Structure 1
């Protein structure tokens, strides 16, 4: 793991001497830029009844971070210095703002150019070295996102798996990039890792997304991949949930290189495509308006029952499956104990005009995978045997299709 804690760790720890030098350098640049004769603390740091249209460090720093800066936090750090506090701690967003305002990207660069007292330099470097004992960990995350597209994010984990930062990128129709940032805490319980995040909007912290990953009995750092779920909201303000995969990288540079390209390993796409739940943002007044399929619920109830399917192909031979759809969960099961039905789908399509059954067969069966289409009116008042069409795969992995004869009876 990389140990460059300058801008990516959760805190920057500075001695009183070095923070005093840092703040004085910032004030010199601010005064030279704005030529102010007198400025109150509230206006300088940007809190209480300050004027947002006049110069303030809050405004200057927000232009750098492109996010919310708490002016009272800046004032508090200045007060800690004046009160003689020996160690000053700057949180993640603020250390970046302090250093970047002076055009430094690393605390070491600032020390080399601004600190000339050897003893103070040694003391500050010792603080940095102590902070570096906590490694940071870097991941790219992959998920099936908005507009039916694969998306990437980058995750940085700090402070011995206590805190994290998630960044997600979206591209619009003009290929213009926008980035969303979430901060949060990590809790590990039993075999699971929980992440609860917040984000800043209009200078207010708001609830963000939640993530749960399986980590097993080993330590989290031992795994190159972590698989889990997310829940939250998308860029269209819809409630969403889905599957997400994390891939670990040895350094921040490697993570950034992966994050900078829009290419995604097809293996990950195969695992994630379609693994997403979207709940539209509306409030139905009656149950039939929950979704566009709700009006057909009475038809859906006709799907439960016992079925005998005779699958016909190109030859005169046919192959039979006897199945049931239960009336409680609408799961498909086999009447033959040696045959197991997996990954079954039961639903209405075409505004309730057709029934669609899809499933895989595990066991001794000619049919291994099949999709069946049935006209719904045959199931509303079944009097005689009827037929449908099917397509699927046989036990030799050959694509097959044809007509299927159906015997149907309601379960008693």
Structure 2
């Protein structure tokens, strides 16, 4: 059992005895550090009308995680303890803060130093072993992102395919890296996996992106690749949607190795390039101002009808092609049953001066 798994992986379940030892150790460390004997619970844990300029555990934990911490989380867990709950479960983002605050890089190190009762120690170790039978799954996510660049994310699925942690890295024009973290829940329905995420900014949880992946009839963990869609918003505050590919890795180390490089498999790039919808953050007053194409709608409506294309070579007629554009969906249709039209595009370009047909 690796120490890194204990601190960053799934939810941690503690016996009442061990959680009480953890809580006492945290409070004693805090009081010793700041030389405080008596302090209100709200100020100690950091919730309600506490003074943010004075010492509190919320601020101490946030300095470790570099992310938002709910000051009432540990306080509520203490209430669970007092109410006699058989187990106290700590979420992944909080257990990292709690153990690191005490200077421990693994739960084993904490147990070795803080839990001296052999029976209680054995109970906790058995509980950890049971929890670790819930395997984690590691993926890299690929999509065509901001600034028309291929983007990678790393996705960890845990807690029996109930929760995910997703991280994306972006680089600005000066090649400075920034990381964005999303936490989400998974719902399985029919042949699809639905993921809904949230992210934290200014100490507040906000709605994140949503994802849908086709999994088929087998369990998702059997699939080395999953293909689906994402929808959300980009760094320019625009609504976006597109295609995404997930690639499964054997372990966390292999996933991290792939995530560390900016290179993307050309096969993924071929599949995903331009597979992106961008909706500008703009609210039009009239339908004529929906986009810069709106003024040419009357011209576009005249494109439907029948067309005869004649192909020549050195003034000699080679081939006649009869096509039509239907008046409802503006699809290009063939009048020849032996000719199949696929991936057709009909649009106006150069401010409505030219018609662009592609098929």
Query: TM-score normalized by structure 1?
Result: 0.83
**CA distance in structure 1 between the aligned counterparts of 2:91 and 2:216, rounded to whole angstroms:** 31
Q: What's the offset of the Cα at 1:16?
A: 2.2
Number of aligned residue pairs: 359
- Classify the secondary structure of the residue corresponding to 1:53: coil
Q: Which residue does 1:391 correspond to in 2? A: none
Task: Sort the Cα spacing of 1:98 and 1:3 in 2 relative to 1 into closer, same or farther, 3 A.
Answer: closer
Residue pair 1:348, 1:354 contacting (<8 A) in 2 also: yes
**CA distance in structure 2 between the aligned counterparts of 1:33 and 1:173, rounded to whole angstroms:** 42
- Classify the secondary structure of the residue corresponding to 1:6: helix
Residue pair 1:2, 1:252 contacting (<8 A) in 2 also: no
Q: Which residue does 1:395 correspond to in 2? A: none
Q: Which residue does 2:187 correspond to in 1? A: 187
- Classify the secondary structure of the residue corresponding to 1:339: coil
Q: Which residue does 1:341 correspond to in 2? A: 341
**CA distance in structure 2 between the aligned counterparts of 1:84 and 1:344, rounded to whole angstroms:** 66
**CA distance in structure 2 between the aligned counterparts of 1:260 and 1:81, rounded to whole angstroms:** 41
Cα distance per residue 1:191-243 (max 9 Å; x no partner)? 11111112222222222111111111111111000000011111111111000
- Classify the secondary structure of the residue corresponding to 1:343: coil
Aligned Cα root-mean-square deviation (Å): 1.9
Within 5 A, what are the aligned runs for 1:77-156? 77-156=77-156
Runs of 4+ in structure 1 over 6 Å off? 1-4
- Classify the secondary structure of the residue corresponding to 2:68: coil
Residue pair 1:5, 1:131 contacting (<8 A) in 2 also: no
- Classify the secondary structure of the residue corresponding to 2:241: strand
Q: Which residue does 1:372 correspond to in 2? A: none
**CA distance in structure 2 between the aligned counterparts of 1:31 and 1:314, rounded to whole angstroms:** 93
Cα distance per residue 1:283-310 (max 9 Å; x no partner)? 1001111000100111111211111111
Q: Which residue does 1:166 correspond to in 2? A: 166
Within 5 A, what are the aligned runs for 1:246-285? 246-285=246-285
Cα distance per residue 1:345-379 (max 9 Å; x no partner)? 100111111111011xxxxxxxxxxxxxxxxxxxx
Residue pair 1:4, 1:132 contacting (<8 A) in 2 also: no
Residue pair 1:3, 1:132 contacting (<8 A) in 2 also: no
**CA distance in structure 2 between the aligned counterparts of 1:323 and 1:96, rounded to whole angstroms:** 64
Q: What's the offset of the Cα at 1:320?
A: 2.1
Q: Which residue does 2:228 correspond to in 1? A: 228
Q: Which residue does 1:217 correspond to in 2? A: 217
Within 5 A, what are the aligned runs for 1:47-86? 47-86=47-86
**CA distance in structure 2 between the aligned counterparts of 1:280 and 1:122, rounded to whole angstroms:** 58
**CA distance in structure 2 between the aligned counterparts of 1:151 and 1:253, rounded to whole angstroms:** 20
Structure 2 segments unaligned to the other structure (5+ residues):
none
Task: Sort the Cα spacing of 1:314 and 1:255 in 2 relative to 1 into closer, same or farther, 3 A.
Answer: farther
